[in-house]
Copies of this chain bind each other. A is one copy, B any other.
């Protein structure tokens, strides 16, 4: 589903991947919809639980920010295929559940914004506590699902460290 997209992946493709007949899939799931729905909502729950945990801990905004980047990258890398679906195939979620999904995603972005906004107020960051900044930050992390391979030479923690440096300091050489 991450390879050919939701509509490009048939139940027969999925069935072939698990080496059974298409009709037999329906003993395990209700409809094709459900696979997408479950994948997207499971990840949404993970991200929200992660950011919720960080928000509630006794850390300053800078520490929270660092923890959030690590959490975000760890979840993405733990299952890049599922994460790809979560990031780019969510719009095919059944109309009935789409609003709830979007609201969870908005909640996550909002929690991120709170951390950056608090960090700005307390003098850690600048130009950080607005939607534009939050989406730029998230996007600068999310590309790794199109590239990361679990057997590669970079571990999630290293990726998170590099991304943290980039987001905090940019490319400009320190003087």
Interface residue count for A (Cβ, 8 Å)?
41
Copies of this chain, how many?
Answer: 2
Check A26 for interface membership: any CB of B closer than 8 A: no
Chain A binding surface SS class: helix
Set B143, B170, B173: member contacting A170, Cβ < 8 A: B170
- A116 contacts B7, CB within 8 Å? no
A29 smallest CB distance to B (angstroms):
20
Indicate whether A132 sits within 8 Å of B88 (C-beta atoms), given known contacts A172-B125, A173-B125.
no
- B residues in contact with A128, CB < 8 Å: 171
Check A140 for interface membership: any CB of B closer than 8 A: yes
A-B CB contact pairs (8 Å), 11 listed: A3-B91, A4-B92, A5-B8, A8-B92, A120-B173, A123-B173, A133-B166, A133-B171, A135-B147, A167-B170, A169-B169
> Can you add 14 more A-B contacts, CB < 8 Å, to A4-B7, A138-B143, A166-B170?
A3-B91, A5-B91, A7-B7, A124-B172, A125-B171, A127-B165, A132-B162, A135-B143, A136-B140, A136-B163, A139-B140, A167-B171, A168-B172, A169-B169
